[in-house]
Structure formats: structure tokens, C-alpha cells
Copies of this chain bind each other. A is one copy, B any other.
């Protein structure tokens, strides 16, 4: 069923639309007092992710409150390692932490390939509920972490500035690294297919730690697996690949079967258009810190961004997730500026 507001899907497919669609990474989150209220009831972030009714509720909040052109299911990229056999905790103001990490071949063999429907039933159920509750108002975006980023957490066991343990593994055990990456990729394909079956209209692959790899390592250990995911999902729905900080990866990503390439704010728009080519849609790329500025500056810079992307093949977004201390009215100003703008 075609959503009532299908701007996102039409822009994704390269159609010329009456205006540029907009959604925001981390739009369902602490920036909304309404989210914080649900969160206070739930206790922790993971409880929220694992409770379909509440995940559904906070997924829809930004559609109502901010007026964005898409919902993105409220979840976490680290549900995949957990579904494969590595549970994690989300530690307040510190981030994710894994008690067990991957060090040996046996550790990898002990992992299972996740089955989306069963191992991640709570996400799939949240998507079904959200899809029903949205009643076709806007498209619903599903997502997963890219294999390299998931791999990095599974080896490192937590966030890191350098992910040097994960990179050490690539240099010292390339064959084992590929074994693990392949297992993650299979899990991710199952998971994303289950998301689409449950109602996701588009899926985004987040390669959050793409930027710590050299271009050569990116080709070998990251892009290869992204390509597999794109090839498995693209026949079903449009796929977005967002490789944060990996400016060098744009050309390679453009050659996959993805429909949309995500950009962060360090990536020049005209240069990115030239690299990616006219056949794909770009998504992004405002610096989330712009939303700390005054309304006039937000409006001016947002319009400048829209003009730089042009009237077609663009989905407006930030170049990273919303920062939690952003004022709601500043977020609305960004969204409203995009919705009011006409070429």
C-alpha cells in the first residue's frame, strides 16, 4: 500500500517531487520531551527497544510532533550481535558494553546466524505495530548496522575513538575477520528481509565507524559486505548506505545497488554529487550543531543546503543523529524550512 505521504519513496526512486522530503537521524529520542516521558516509565533504553508497544509509540512521536516525512523504527544496531549470541548492556552516558567479546575462531563458531523473525521478534513486532498505527501516513524506515561497524563492537566490546582492537584483528586475522563479517552479513540480510516483510518501506545501513579504516581496508572488509546486503535487499525496497566519515567510500558505495547514499556535513555536496553520479539519491547532510544556532541562521543555512543539493535526488536530513540537548523548536525550524522551501 502506497503511503499517503510518499515523498520519501518518490525522492528515493529519483522522481522529481513537489518539495524535498525530510526526516532526521535519531528523530525518535531524547530531543523530544514526549520521548523522555516514555523513557522515564520504562527504565532503560534497552527495555524501550525490547518492548514493541513503546518502541512503536516513540517511533511515531516525531511524525506527530515534528511533522517529518518518514518514521524510522526505534531500535539499536547492536541487537544483531545480541541475537548472534553476544549480549550487551547500554550504560547511561557511557554507551554500549559487551561482557564477552570475540577473540578466537571458536568464539566465531559459537555465534549463531541470527534469524530475523525469531531472534529479533521484538523489532519485527514493533515494525508491525508501527506500520498499523501509522495507517499509511508516512513511510516506515527499517535499519541495521553495517557489518564492519557491528564487527568493530563485537571485537572491541564497547565504543572507542580508534577501534584499534578491531583493526588489529583485521591486520592479524584477516581470514577470521572475513568469517565473522560473513556471519554478520547473513544475519543482517535475514534481519532486514524480516523488517521489509513486516512493513519497512526502505532500509538504511549505518556504517558508523567506517571512518577509522583506510580506503583499502574499507574495500576489503566493509564495502564487500555492504554490497551483499544491497544486492539482497534492493530487489525489495530502496536501500540507503550511510558510511559516516568515510568520504573515500562514496565512489565505491555509489557502485553498489543501493538507491541512496548518505552524506555527513564534512562531505561537500557538489563534489559528492559528482562522485556518486546522477543515478542515485543523496541524503543529508546538515551539521547537527547548526541546530544550536538562532532561528534565522538555521533557516538561512538550511536553505543554502537545499539549493546545493538541488530539486531532485535529495532526501534532507542531518549528517549525523540529532544531539540530545537540541531544542525541539530548533528541530522544527529545520523541518519547517525544508517543508516550506520551493525551487
Residue positions of A touching B, CB distance < 8 A: 159, 161-162, 164, 167-168, 170-172, 211, 213-215, 217, 245-248, 265-268, 287-290, 292-294, 297, 320, 323, 325
Contacts and interface: CB of A to CB of B under 8 A. Distances in A.
A106 to B, nearest CB: 21
Nearest to A323: B164
A172 B292 contact: yes
Nearest to A168: B292
Contacts of A265: 214
A92 to B, nearest CB: 16
Contacts of A159: 161
A290 B171 contact: yes
Number of copies: 2
A161 B267 CA distance: 18
A287 B167 contact: yes
A110 B28 CA distance: 42
A270 B222 CA distance: 22
B171 A289 contact: yes
A215 B268 contact: yes
Given A214-B287, A247-B247, A171 B297 contact: yes
A303 B293 CA distance: 48
Contacts of A320: 162
28 contacts: A159-B161, A161-B161, A162-B289, A164-B289, A164-B325, A167-B287, A167-B292, A168-B292, A170-B289, A171-B289, A171-B290, A171-B293, A172-B293, A172-B294, A211-B245, A211-B266, A213-B266, A214-B265, A214-B266, A214-B287, A215-B268, A217-B287, A245-B245, A246-B266, A247-B247, A247-B248, A247-B266, A248-B266
Kindly list the 7 A-B residue pairs having the minimum CB-CB distance in the complex, ordered from nearest: A167-B289, A171-B293, A168-B292, A214-B265, A171-B292, A214-B287, A164-B323
A259 B290 CA distance: 34
Nearest to A294: B172
A145 B215 CA distance: 27
Given A170-B289, A215-B266, 13 more contacts: A159-B161, A162-B289, A162-B320, A164-B288, A164-B323, A167-B292, A168-B289, A172-B293, A172-B294, A211-B245, A214-B287, A245-B245, A248-B266
